[in-house]
Structure 1
Amino acid sequence: MSAPFRLRLRVRYGECDAQQVVFNARYGDYIDIAATEFYRALFGSYQALIERGLDSQVVRQLIEWQGPARFDEVLLIGVQCQSLGTTSFTLHFEIRAENGLRPVARADTTYVMVDATTFQKTPIPQDIRDAFERGASEVLINQAG
């Protein structure tokens, strides 16, 4: 695997729970934001896939928590393509607290490529496969302010 695409994201107050850490369900949001920004780095936008008649749908997501993230902490989320099948692909996510790069969570999310109109599985086109294989290691998106 190549070096990961990176996204900086700041934890907002409303994302924390009664234990004063990021609520577990919010990690799915963070992963989706990171995947969307990864798509933007690879294809120009998510909409570029839709305009080609393609879309992707989550079929599996595994999240492993390694430590808490807290309000106002900046997270660094790395994204890279872990595997490519005929119609599916898996993205790997590493979430770390940027201050000291303390591990917070890691996740593997498997998507299936579908026709944007019928939502039937469709093979991943070669140029998209090539982009996933190349990755976007030089890209760092800062949404932390």
Structure 2
Amino acid sequence: MAAQWSAPVRYVECDQQGVVFNGHFLTWADEASNVWWAAHGLAWDELVARGVEPVVKASSLEWSASARWGDTVTVDAETEKVGRTSVTVRFTVRVGERVCCLVRNTYVCAADGRSVPWPDDVRARLAEG
């Protein structure tokens, strides 16, 4: 199940050459993750209320082009892999059709500070689409 988030590149996100500083790609992936969780019918506050807290275990970024001040970035979020205790989401950051960066975040299901299996209903929703 895919989800999408979009925003204009803000001046504050750029260096002196007008190119987006690399750390903002993770921020955009985080923004898109909220839409991705919601697209799966998994509201963050409801998960936490159940004692399930998804935490980022690993992130990787692979750049192929710049985003610049004045551009509008779109982040496409798609499930890449669902495991027993984790899920990996691929965030494709693009300007128009030009891909700028691929971000992969692996989220681990945590409870009481340790990794635990996803509840069956959560895992089923993560595996949809």
Do they superpose with TM above 0.5? Answer: yes
| Cα distance in structure 2, aligned partners of 1:88 and 1:7 | 22
Q: Which amino acid aligns with 1:128?
A: V
| Cα distance in structure 1, aligned partners of 2:51 and 2:40 | 17
Alignment RMSD, CA only? 1.4
Match of 1:129 in 2: 123
Give matches, 1:45-64, under 5 Å: 45-64=43-62
> Structure 2: 5+ residue runs without aligned partners?
none
Give matches, 1:1-145, under 5 Å: 4-43=2-41, 45-98=43-96, 101-115=97-111, 118-135=112-129
Q: Which amino acid aligns with 1:55?
A: E
CA contact (8 A) 1:43 1:49 kept: no
What TM-score results when the alignment is normalised by the length of structure 2?
0.92
Amino-acid identity (%): 29
> Structure 1: 5+ residue runs without aligned partners?
136-145
What TM-score results when the alignment is normalised by the length of structure 1?
0.82
Equivalent pairs, count: 129
The 1:61–1:85 alpha-carbon spacing in structure 2 relative to 1, beyond 3 Å, is: same
